[in-house]
Amino acid sequence: MIGFLQRVRRAWVEVDGHRVARIETGLLVLVGMERSDTHAIGARLLQRVLDYRVFPDAQDRMNRSLRDIQGGLLLVPQFTLAADTRKGNRPGFSPAMPPDEAQALYGELLQHARTQHPIVESGVFGAVMQVSLTNDGPVSFWLQVRNEMAVR
């Protein structure tokens, strides 16, 4: 499972001209699911997202996590993160989890996030979304958790 984290001052998602999610200071996380991903992998990615130290402390060092600052978490499903871009000029999507499985796994991830953190918002699975953000820094990180058995 892939999480592309962006530290934001604010972020929101619109679908068909309607705002469906919004956070202030926190993390916008684009989430891509691969065929071998599981609930356990999603739980591990979520734990890393919540505990990843990307917010400044009193000495302006990235030493505080989303949990520490009680910031907002905006999760946005994005299947294109799982694209195979190794060759040619067009991405391939064979590594991506099939949509029905990915939607169920994303729903589990979102539900789990809401039990672990007080401010969780979400994009809409399968919708064409407009994602707006003010990246703070800019600070962005790619986190990936893999099923060790599938990597072999």
Residue among 31, 47, 45 at smallest CA distance from 102: 31
Whole-structure pTM value: 0.94
As annotated, the active-site residues are: 78-80
Distance CA 73, CA 22 (A): 9
Burial environment of residue 82 by CB neighbours within 10 A (0 to 12, 13 to 18, 19 or more): buried
Domains of the chain: 2-151 (3.50.80.10)
Predicted pLDDT at 98: 95
Tell me the pLDDT tens digit for each residue of 79-121.
Answer: 999 888 999 899 989 889 999 999 999 999 999 999 999 999 9
Burial environment of residue 143 by CB neighbours within 10 A (0 to 12, 13 to 18, 19 or more): middle
